[in-house]
Structure 1
């Protein structure tokens, strides 16, 4: 019987935006489509890379991984400046007359921030790619498993886990689906990739995101959800 592969968590930290733009002082009201996604699970997608070779200046591969993690964290901090709603938290405001709730994203001073995890698994890239459906342990390569979008009241709206394999690196991202769709998620990832590769720290990104939520003409941005009993 083969020994089960165990994922070991090495570190966990929070990533804040490098600076707080004007958008960090806003509350973003969820529109009807956003609200309809609150009972769904987070969007999850992963990227798999070969581990870069050890350079002459590095004593061992650990130094190389440390440099990669530092670069990812620093560039993620700069990326969040442009995607400030991902650093917020959901807030629910209750009204008793009439009985209703309204749900928004509170981005004031970035109270939520983003979670960043470093983990290790004794697997090779071939072990991940060879099975038709992937080994069950790949599920643990993603943070916030089993979390639904409404949990964004207390959980991060974005979390990243970098899992170090024997010969590769797996980046698993979990993205609150009430904040954006799949296209929005990959827009964020592509922007992060652009800033991670870019040596000029103050360069503008190629495609700034649209942060304003869409609401039908003539409707208030506050969508009230009626209820008869709080429970």
Structure 2
């Protein structure tokens, strides 16, 4: 299958009217465990119908609706940072934040890629933007739109500590709603004080000390991750 070619890369900023959180959003213990296994990626494939607009128009709509959606999801445009004074990890937000938006193209037919008989993993992997999450600070989210023959692909790479599958699809649904020119039904809450865990702050710090001891460099260890997950599940 034809290779995926990167055409351009730019940033979509948070609206000036959005109010970012006043300070870093510190990870809870359940979020901190994903610092060592950070990457969550998804690809959406859209086959062209008779009413699909030109790719340039699709890009304009995706960018403008993404900007509007970031007004409610501003932390996703932030940076994952190491809070040196406490040793914690959290999301730092500022008015200058933005999400990297990659534009790519591929001469292949998207219907072959989406079909049940062929799944080209090499091409699918190229439909999500690369984000280096091995060292902090790092981006929380990046997106990519790829033009195909017969359709469009939208790929997302998000740090797993910032969003699980349900949270990511909440964001995608809000983005799609804004893209249709509608108003999203719900506004997300980023108040970590609502997460109640016994000795939660101490547990989060202990998780990072044991399984990410070289912060801001992130060490990925599968065995350590499995052991950590079992410890956390037994403590809940």
Whether TM exceeds 0.5 here: the answer is yes
Describe the superposition over 1:125-181 as per-residue Cα deviations: whole angstroms up to 9, x where unpaired.
222023656112221011126x44x54x34321111111001110111111100011
1:169 to 141, 144, 152: 152
Q: Does 1:106 align with 2:92?
A: yes
Give the drift of 1:93.
2.5
2:112 to 111, 127, 132: 127
- For residues 86 and 221 of structure 1, do their structure 2 counterparts lie closer, same or farther at Cα, with a shift above 3 Å needed? farther
- Determine which structure has more spread, i.e. the larger CA radius of gyration: 1
Give the drift of 1:218.
6.0
Higher relative helix content: 2
Give the drift of 1:22.
2.7
SS at match of 1:122: strand
Matches of 1:44 and 1:226 in 2, distance apart?
A: 27
RMSD between aligned residues: 2.8
Matches of 2:203 and 2:77 in 1, distance apart?
A: 21
Question: Are 1:17 and 1:80, in contact at CA under 8 Å, matched by a contact in 2?
Answer: yes
Normalising to structure 2: TM-score of the pair? 0.77
Any gaps of 5 or more consecutive residues in structure 2? 218-236
Q: Which residue of 2 aligns with 1:46?
A: 43
Give the drift of 1:229.
7.7
Any gaps of 5 or more consecutive residues in structure 1? 56-60
Give the drift of 1:47.
1.1
Matches of 1:155 and 1:37 in 2, distance apart?
A: 14
Normalising to structure 1: TM-score of the pair? 0.79
